[in-house]
Structure 1
Amino acid sequence: MLNNPILKIFAFVMFVNVMAWGQASEKPRPDGTMKMGKISGIVIDNTNGLPLEYANILVYRLRDSVMLTGGITNTSGIFTVDDLSPGQYYVKVKFLGYEPMYVSNVRIQPDKPEVNLGKLHLDMMTVKTADVVITAEKDGIVHSLDKKVVNVDKNYSSTGGSATDVLQNVPSVNVDAEGNVSMRGSSNLTILIDGKPSGMSALSSADVLNQIPASQIESIEIITNPSAKYDPEGTAGIINVVMKKKGVTGINGQITAFGGTGNKYNGSAILNYRLNGANFSFGYDNRTSNFTSFSTNSRNSTVSANSALIEQDVDGNSLMQFNNLSLGFDYTFNEKDNIGISAKKRFHTFGTDSRTETRNFNSAGLLTSDYLRSSDGPRNMGGMEYALNYKKVFDGIGRELTADITYTDFYMNRDEIIRETDYLSGSLIKPEQKTGTDNTNHTYTVQTDYTHQLSSSSKFEAGHRSLFRTLTMRNDYLLFNTTSGIFEDIPLYRNHFDMEEQIHAVYSNYTGAVGDLFKFQGGLRAEQVYSEGNLLTSGETFNNDYFALYPSAYLSKQFGTDELLLSYSRRVDRPNNRQINPYVNLTDSSNIFFGNPKLRPQFTNSYELGYMLTLGKTTITTTGFLRTTSGVISNITSIGTDGVTRTTFANVSRQNDAGVDINSTIPVFPFLRVNAGFSYYNIRFEEDAANSIKSFNDNNWTAKLNSNIFLGPGTGLQLSLNYRSPYIVAQGNMSETFSVDLGGRKEFLDGDLTVSFRVSDLFNTLKQRMEVSGNGFTAVLDGKRESRMAFLGVTYRIFNFKAKEQKRDRDSGGDMDF
């Protein structure tokens, strides 16, 4: 199926790649002299061995201490400072919250123009007061112009929870009362795990994030305007979950156990064994959570005289059990080549018991029916994920090639029993109903990425990604035959749907600088999508093939320690299988749902202008943004003369989102650090009369405040406040939400043992109201999910003796000449 457009672009990218590679080799300058010297190295967090991004590198002339030049580390902690004349220098390395490091006696000679400083380990900053020594903690949230990084270990208010709980307190990110995640007002986002798709594409973002325990997460990256290197899926941006990894020699790991109110428990174990070039890893986690919920729904209709008013009360109880098991092995042959293989097994159960009382009133206000609808049946899901990874590091700094092959085999099945009984007599109104669901998802992904750091200010990236996905959905509807005593299949409501999808992409990025004036990055991603749906029950087929280009551009200017960034990217929201499958969901006979196989992707142009201001130890990041979206995919609800509301999806009009984020990190006192975030955004939606959507112009905002109090070595408290104003949706509006979380921890045994606690939604205020209207009806929905919960748990870290000896050597400065 691959033909001209994609092949031509792939050939062009490879041609540019070869040309850039050749130009990077050592060549004489036009005046006949050779290139001048350079200093390179890698900056590492001494606590966990992970690279530090955005660390500042300053190069001083030794004889008069004049600062000549500098740079910053990339995502791998790597830096390169070039164009240095032969001579003697010293280097200063600094990063917020860490002790600065000085490397003296750095000499560049004509015959040895390149100096590699190797790994530079930075220690956490310590502050002495009258009676106590306080070790500065890594910021819970680190702000930069292109992303936000949430350090989960410093986020006490997510203790015992999941990735969803971590995001609850992140600026620009909102989590509603049902656990749904959105960024800057949009829920269309992409979830990555360690920079790769989650392998659970059949699930919603809320379900994916809720399955990942916070105890196994190192950090979460929020990227609102990704470059062409990333998959363009997700018009609001990307949430990348970085899992914990241990890399020191010997046996090391972490074991956690937590218990919470209302029958909530979770535990996890991460073990790693590294010897010479071989590394073995094991991970397991379990989460068992019981949640209760209650909601009411009141709907008025002018279309149906017999159902002029419908009132519903819904009680729900959910028991969720998540289990994840992972095994991995990788081997480094010669410090240049690494190959790894891993396998992950997931097996989850969502047990749901729901009871809905429905009262129908006619136009005269008389009660015409009062019945109880109950449904129960666990939803089982799981599968396997296999990965083969290769990494090649070339000579020099910042030049590498990675290749990854991934296969995921995911399933989901459920048998749900539905009963409708008269509320007063308890007798069945209609025979028992049964819905059977059996879905599978098989996905192959092949990806290669090449990075070449041409100099301290220029870099070339190129890559390719192909995804092959096969989805099968089997939904059956059965009625109980009271005569035969068995459930009988009803072919009229049967839905068997298959979907085949291929996405082939190539990309190229170039990063450079124009002297000291500004830095820039330009990128282009080309994608060819082939998508075919087959409704087996009717023989209908649906095709949605398209070719699209996704450019990105960045322009930045440094003003001392401050920085200005202008960026642009094009994003897409591709319809998922749930949105296009025309299967009619009859779980609630008064409110039915079905997909639209004619949906097309929606495209978004995203613009951002940001400024990072540094005032001493305080940083303030201000980002203005604009998103323009065409062919918006939206829920559309209508009501028929039978009084039943029907909800589906449609491509509607245009939407423009504009706003500003202001985030700051303020060390108020040595023992108190505050992260504050404020987001304001305006949403303009054009009228779409065909789908009963009126134009609207809505202003809303969110505010978040995280206060971290350091009470001594390894002891701290965190108080988090979250507020979201009311906001408008396509056919209605949502109410405001407010919550307060409290967390804390205490370390023992020289940091090996940590006791943590958390209380979420301290004042039990997290609830939601939605008001919806359309042709002939208005509705009000009030919902409250169990949100006030308390957790208490312990974490034990396992480090081998040799690793501790190495840490003490580094603490004493034995590995560096200061």
Structure 2
Amino acid sequence: MKKILFLSIFGLLYSLAWAQPAPVANESEVRSGRIKGVILDADSQSPMEYANIAIYSKRDSSLVTGGITNDKGHFEIEGLGFGEYYAEAIFIGYEKSSHSGIRIAPANQVVDIGEITLSASSLTIGDVNVVADRQRIEYKIDKKVINVDQDINAAGGTAIDVLENTPSVEVDIDGNVSLRGSSSFTVLIDGKPSVLSGSDALRQLPASAIDNIEIITNPSAKYEPDGMAGIINVVMKKNVLSGFNGIVNAMVGTGNKYRTDLNLNYRTRKTNLFFGTDWNNYNSFGEIFSERQIFQHDTTNFIITEGKRDSERRGFNLRGGADFFLTDRATLTLSLTGGQYGNDNGGRSQLHEYSMPGTTERFIINDNLSGREGNQFSSNLSFQQKFDESGLHKLDFLLYYSARTGDDQENQDEYLTNSSYQGNLGFIDRIQSSETEEENEFRFKLDYVRPLSSGGKFEAGMQSTLDREQEEFTFSNYDPETSNWISNPLFTSSMDFRRDIHAGYVTLGGKMGVIQYMAGLRGEYTFREIEHEKAEEPVTLNRFDLFPTAHLSLDASETTQIMTSYSRRINRPSGRDLDPFPNYMNQYTIRQGNPALKPEYTSSIELGIMQRFGKSFISAETFYRTTNNLISMVQELRDNGIIYLTSDNINRDHSLGAEVMGNFNIAKWFQLNSSVSYFNYRIKGELNGESIDRESNNYSLRMNGSFRLAPESRVQLMAFYRGPSVQAQGESKSMFFSNISYRQEFFDKKLSATLSLRDIFGTSQFENMSYGPNFSNKFRMKRESQVLQLTLSYKINNYKQDRGQGEMNGEGGDQGGGRM
């Protein structure tokens, strides 16, 4: 059974509070003795981060001092006098392990006790021995870690399904993710950038191939500052056992939903070869309703729309690579990923147009079919050189390249019908549009970490990112007289986008008593150029920005830890946001970019406290986030009766809130994880000379209960509720949904079967309203409910993923996690 990797730091404080003097020859003796070693999981042989090590005097068994392991499982205890000792290693959910016979003398001042292995603790139910599970969510000093194998509701799904029940994260009805109310965040995969961005990247990652997901809302200066809300880092599974191992998963669901993936590993002393593939074809169905009112003089025009919104998402990916262990301290890694992605959206809508007062009335059918498909590729070449045995003094190098192509096609037919929406009384409009894009990105990164003699740590690095995009958009109208498609130059254009970012950073961390600290500063120079075929001159930007960060933590007692942090971040507008030429959406709506858009800058402050109660704990966080140059979508009704959508830096917003989260081991067979989030959101700004100041109180509640019916049987129930919120020109209503899953394991846990029912009560829907001086618009969408899914998972040769793969290559550390 999987082991609990529950964050445990109280041992260090305990040792400081109750430590006894070490046995020494005399009081003037220099306390120069050191004890070092490494703590490993006995089952997987992976290093255990944050494990406790306590040093006792052999003479009277008094506690002398202690410490915790780093992300490599290493520990080093200094300041010990000459004498005899024994050590105890402790980690919640594991049996305690002791090491005796430690002697420090003038001729033997440094003692390396080597490896200490910890075995998972167990409890007895009847005659059956049960090994403890990992917590579903672990709270660390700077992040939340979601252990995916403990979330059986996400079985057969993607990273989106894992995040549906994760504190600080919300997922809307279309699977779009927001982090603390913001959709501006950065997605990393094993600490490296993703070819796709945001929610699109998360949709492509099967949950069964993920070890854990890290939520980092206030990253250090070592990380790129993109994404106002922070970073979502997805850590993929990687086997640690020698020889050949693997795991295969398959899912089938009602409504034509299919997904499968395979991971294989072959590991020797000098190399580790890994290969994976996944395929998915996922259909979903939904219903939409909208009501638009347009106020012109003394007349109100109504457009009421009802219809279907169906979609099909599909994809196929291959990934592979190798770790080459050149020496005990040097590792070279090469990895390649490639695949195809696509989605089709279609549906038929019925439109009823009429005016009051007036006699105008039309009944219209809109057939809309759109599709997007493309190819993606990425390659990583990384090298790590360690300069000492602990691995803390090191140099990391990363060379990254990615390429993506995309082809969007859309066809719309609108025609008149009778009041029963029967027949075709004549086409109003028939259009075709096509958008092709190609993106290439190059990254170079160098990171250096050096421990300091005072117990602190110095880090420095540099990075260059070169981004190139080309887009072509064609638009055609159907000519019924000639039965030909005629290109429309008003909506046909092409654009080249270039952005170069060169950055450098430094961080300094250390410890003063029970206080840990890290301060950092990152500087970035950005050059951006947009060339549009219809523009006389390219639009350029030259900018230099500074991004300071700070982190503090205090071990207030052996069960209480207090943390605070600050960071400044940026959200850069995309090429599409900046394109000034019109993009046709339908006969009522046109979208247009804004080349004058400025980046958004966010300052974020967090304060948190964690209180442990045995194997349970509660974590409370408060946060304040303010954004300057807030980019908001603006709707404007023009004289031709068409609404134009564009973006502008019209606002400044403020979010002040709190989150309370907890893991509760209520009984041997029942574990509860729940959270409550509340924040006050304020928008300040002007639009067309009028104030658009808005304010709302937003809250959400989530619960995840796990019931162990037998050693190989478990039921998991989750529920989520989100309260109403506001936007610059509107508001959204509340939403609730719940899921339930049952997992059964067979053949000594080599095979598992999971049956899931999603949206049990059919309550999941999205509803909002937007309005301006001369229009209002209501929109509601309800997604497919009560979806039943069956997922099978089979381990080949007892496949076990690496629990020590938490550090992002060159992006980790004490404030960012372990190795990936």
Query: Which of the numbers 98, 109, 115 marks the counterpart of 2:94?
Result: 98
2:57 maps to 1:61: yes
Q: Deviation of residue 691 (structure 1)? A: 7.1
- Is 1:298–1:779's contact at 8 Å kept on the other side of the alignment? yes
SS at match of 1:157: helix
Residues 395, 355 of structure 1: CA spacing in aligned structure 2 closer, same or farther, 3 A cutoff?
same
- Tell me, in whole angstroms, the C-alpha distance in 1 between the residues paired with 2:436 and 2:579: 14
Q: Which residue type is aligned with residue 98 of structure 1?
A: Y
Structure 2 matches for 1:682-697, cutoff 5 A? 682-690=680-688, 694-697=692-695
> What's the offset of the Cα at 1:83?
2.5
Matched length: 768
Determine the C-alpha separation between the residues in 2 that align with 1:134 and 1:455.
Answer: 44
Q: Aligned match of 2:77 in 73, 76, 81?
A: 81
Residue of 403, 418, 441 corresponding to 2:412: 418
Matches within 5 A, 1:154-553: 154-201=150-197, 205-303=198-296, 308-364=301-357, 366-397=359-390, 398-424=392-418, 425-430=423-428, 432-454=430-452, 457-514=455-512, 516-553=513-550
Please give the secondary structure, in 1, of the residue aligned with 2:583: coil
Identical residues among aligned pairs (%): 33
Aligned-partner Cα distance in 1 for 2:632–2:181: 14
Partner of 2:12: none
Does the CA-based 8 Å contact 1:474-1:495 persist in structure 2? yes
User: What CA deviation, in whole Å up to 9, does each residue of 1:648-678 have, x standing for no partner?
Assistant: 1111222111111111111101111111111
Could you tell me how far 1:289 is from its partner in structure 2?
Answer: 0.3
Quote the offset at 1:307 in angstroms. Answer: 6.3
Moved more, 332-341 or 93-102: 93-102
1:154-195 CA-to-partner distances (Å, cap 9, x unmatched) read 101101101000001111211111111112222211111111
Residue 651 of structure 2 aligns to a residue whose secondary structure is coil
Report what 1:638 is aligned to: 636
Give the aligned residue type for 1:660: A
1:502, 1:49 → 2: CA distance?
42
Conserved? CA contact 1:80–1:456, under 8 Å: no
Q: Which moved more, 1:236-245 or 1:137-146?
A: 137-146
Q: Distance in 2 between matches of 1:656 and 1:801?
A: 47
Q: Partner residue of 1:10? A: none
Cα 1:322–1:658 change in 2 (3 A) is same
Partner in structure 1 of residue 795 of structure 2: 797
Task: Label 1:119 to 1:462 Cα distance change in 2 as closer, same or farther (>3 A).
Answer: farther
Tell me, in whole angstroms, the C-alpha distance in 2 between the residues paired with 1:140 and 1:666.
Answer: 11
Question: Which deviates the most, 688-697 or 673-682?
Answer: 688-697
1:47 deviates by 4.3
| Contact kept? 1:250, 1:800, Cα under 8 Å | no
Q: Bigger shift: 618-627 or 296-305?
A: 296-305
SS class of match (1:165): helix
Contact 1:767 1:783 in 2 (8 A): yes
Q: Which moved more, 1:111-120 or 1:64-73?
A: 111-120
Give the whole-Å Cα distance in 2 for the aligned partners of 1:547 and 1:33.
54
In the alignment, the residues of structure 1 paired with residue 572 and residue 85 of structure 2 have an alpha-carbon distance, to the nearest angstrom, of 53
- Any idea what the Cα deviations from partners look like across 1:49-94, whole Å, max 9, x if unmatched? 4443332232222322222322223333333332233333222322
Gaps of 5+ in 1: 1-31, 804-818
Q: CA deviation at 1:34?
A: 8.2
8 Å CA contact retained: 2:750, 2:798: no
Contact 1:53 1:73 in 2 (8 A): yes
* Pairwise CA distance, 1:555: 1.6
Alpha-carbon distance in structure 2 between the residues aligned to 1:657 and 1:193: 28
My pick for the range that moved more, 258-267 or 50-59, is 50-59
Amino acid at match of 1:383: Q
The residue aligned with 1:814 is none
Change (3 A) 1:800 1:162: closer
Partners of 1:757 and 1:479 in 2: how far apart? 48
* Structure 1 residue identity aligned to 2:404: F
Q: Distance in 2 between matches of 1:787 and 1:189?
A: 28
How big is the shift at 1:103?
2.7
SS of residue in 2 equivalent to 1:544: strand
Give the counterpart of 1:132 among 113, 123, 128.
128
Contact 1:652 1:691 survives alignment (8 Å): no
For residues 369-388 of structure 1, the C-alpha deviation after alignment (integer angstroms, 9 at most, x for no partner) is 22222222421122211111
Instruction: Check 1:280–1:606 CA distance in 2 against 1; reply closer, same or farther (3 A cut).
Output: same
- Given candidates 568, 584, 590, the residue that maps to 1:592 is 590
Deviations 1:739-759 (A, max 9, x none): 111122122222211111221
Aligned partner of residue 688 in structure 2, secondary structure: helix
Residue 534 of structure 2 aligns with an amino acid whose one-letter code is T
Q: Helix, strand or coil for the counterpart of 1:248? A: coil
Bigger mean CA deviation after superposition, 711-720 or 521-530: 711-720
Q: Name the amino acid aligned to 2:411.
A: I
Q: Match of 2:730?
A: 732
- The answer (yes or no) to whether the contact 1:162–1:214 under 8 Å persists in 2 is yes
**In structure 2, what is the equivalent of residue 577 of structure 1?**
575
1:60/1:536 Cα in 2 relative to 1: closer, same or farther (>3 Å)?
farther
Indicate which of 648, 666, 669 corresponds to 1:668: 666
* 8 A contact 1:144–1:612 mirrored in 2: no
Deviations, residues 363-408 of structure 1 (Å, cap 9, x unaligned): 3154432222222242112221111111112223112211110110
Are 1:143 and 2:139 counterparts? Answer: yes
Query: Residue by residue, what CA displacement relative to the aligned partner does 1:561-601 show, whole Å, maximum 9, x if unpaired?
Result: 31111211111111122222234332322122222111111
Q: CA RMSD in A?
A: 2.2
Tell me by how many angstroms 1:682 deviates.
0.7
- The 8 Å contact of residues 377 and 416 in structure 1, kept in 2 or not, is answered as yes
Query: 1:152 — aligned with what?
Result: 148
Given that 1:160 and 1:266 are in contact with CA atoms closer than 8 Å, whether structure 2 keeps it comes out as: yes
Q: CA–CA distance in 2 between the matches of 1:66 and 1:274?
A: 43
Separation in 2, partners of 1:793, 1:331 = 34
- CA positional deviation for 1:257: 0.8
Looking at structure 1, the residues matched to 658 and 222 of structure 2 have their Cα atoms a distance apart, in angstroms, of: 25
Instruction: Work out the CA distance in 2 between the residues paired with 1:292 and 1:582.
Output: 34
CA distance in 1, matches of 2:404, 2:45: 34
Q: Residue 82 of structure 1 contacts residue 456 of structure 1 at CA under 8 Å; is this kept in 2?
A: no
Tell me the secondary structure at the aligned position of residue 162 of structure 2: helix
Q: 1:678 to 1:312 in 2, by over 3 A?
A: same
Q: CA offsets per residue over residues 506-536 of structure 1, 9 Å max, x none?
A: 111111112x242211111111111111112
Give per-residue Cα distances to partners, 1:104-151, cap 9 Å, x unaligned.
333334334333444443332211234433221100111223111000
| Structure 1 residues 49 and 177: alpha-carbon distance in aligned structure 2, compared to 1, 3 A threshold | farther
Distance 2:790 2:396 in 1: 41
Counterpart-to-counterpart distance in 2, 1:261 and 1:117: 56
CA distance in 1, matches of 2:636, 2:153: 41
Deviations 1:12-57 (A, max 9, x none): xxxxxxxxxxxxxxxxxxxx99882333334334444444333223
In structure 1, what is the Cα distance between the partners aligned to 2:53 and 2:580? 57
Q: Deviations over 1:243-271 (max 9, x none)?
A: 00012210011111111111001100000
Query: What is the match of residue 22 of structure 2?
Result: none
Most deviating of 554-563 and 449-458: 449-458
Letter in 1 for 2:550: A
Q: Are 2:444 and 2:463, in contact at CA under 8 Å, matched by a contact in 1?
A: yes
